[in-house]
Amino acid sequence: DAHHSDGHRQGFHSASGIVSLLHRILEVAVDDGTLARNPATGVTIRPEAKTDKRIFTRDEAMKMLAAVAAPDRVRRGPEARRRQPWVMCMVMLWAGLRWGEVLGVRVRDVNLLKRRLSVVQVVEEVSGKTRVKEYPKTDAGRRTVPMTEALARALEQHVTELGLRPGDLLFTTTTGGSMTRSSFRSWVWQPALVQAGLATWTDDRRTTIEAVASADGELLPLPTPHSLRHSYISWLANAGNVPLDTVRRMAGHESILTTQQYLHAVEGEEEQVLAGLEGAPARPRALRPVEGSQDVTHQ
């Protein structure tokens, strides 16, 4: 199956997928003597960036949080306001909220005593303009999620230092509006990615970036702020001790099929399978044949 031939979703629409398929077709012609050699042998294609969701490792996520919290990341406003992007990223990473959900959180939606955060409204952005929408896009989006102790402390400090009231939005600009994606990306996210070693500038004006290849040369998708949410869901889905339907509800997914996309092979599980197989008896234990039937071990 060429769709999974390299362990990833390598469809025939990709250059490497087409070359792989062509090579196998021509190999048949070589085997039956139609061709003396396979002309596709040795053809190499520049690796393409995977279109899969970018999931941070724990180390990458911590580097990103540290980079976002850099003192010069936001230069205007009081210290608490300058620290706001870091708190926003904390909410996306440790509570799994979407960008619009983060912007829609009000002070009264945060229960510090019980360490719970409720998602009841969102901020929509259309053509660079934002507006509050009084409900998430789906019923599943309206939910309450637990907060880690570190996230609860960060939110408590944020609310206290800015003197926010119960009906106030947690995250706003200095003029009281909601931050746009493009502003966050330009002023916070892209410089932080470069500082964290996950991307490099592609122009002297420092306006565009590209992802840094992995140690084995693989081109990875460029992380976006949504990658923090992706990482939250993936970490939960693969923890092994959190039911998948619980992960679905925490993520605000309507369908568990969406949540299942975050499941991936656990490191070392192949070795566990081999150990189980190699520890099995050399021959299967003979089954007692049912009267009137053949010995099932010879069927």
145, 96 Cβ separation under 8 angstroms: yes
- Phi first, then psi, for residue 246 (nearest 5°) are -65, -40
| pLDDT of the residue at 9 | 38
| pLDDT of the residue at 93 | 97
251, 242 Cβ separation under 8 angstroms: no
| pLDDT of the residue at 122 | 95
| pLDDT of the residue at 17 | 65
Would you call 295 exposed, middle or buried from its count of C-beta atoms within 10 A (0-12, 13-18, 19+)?
exposed
DSSP state of 130: E
- Whole-prediction pTM value? 0.72
| pLDDT of the residue at 279 | 66
| pLDDT of the residue at 89 | 98
| Geometric angle at alpha carbon 126, from 122 and 129, rounded to 5° | 85
Angle between helices 84-95 and 149-162 in degrees, nearest 10:
150
Q: Which helix (H) or strand (E) holds 161?
A: helix 149-162
3-state secondary structure of 129: strand
Candidates 4, 55, 25; CA nearest to 233 is 55
Q: What is the CA radius of gyration of the chain?
A: 26
| pLDDT of the residue at 28 | 82
DSSP per position, 213-256: P-TTS--PPPP-THHHHHHHHHHHHTSSSS-HHHHHHHHT-S-H
Number of H helices, E strands in the chain: 12, 7
Query: Long-range contacts made by residues 41-46, C-beta under 8 angstroms, separation at least 24?
Result: 43/19, 45/15, 45/16, 45/19
DSSP per position, 92-126: HHHH---HHHHHH-BGGGEETTTTEEEE--EEEEE
pLDDT mean by block of 10 residues, the chain; 299 residues: 36 58 81 84 57 84 94 64 92 97 98 97 90 84 96 96 96 91 94 95 89 83 95 92 95 93 67 67 46 43
The pairing of strands 209-211 and 116-119 is unpaired
Residue type, position 103, single letter = L
d(CA 244, CA 233): 10
Return the structure tokens found at 215. Answer: 């140690």
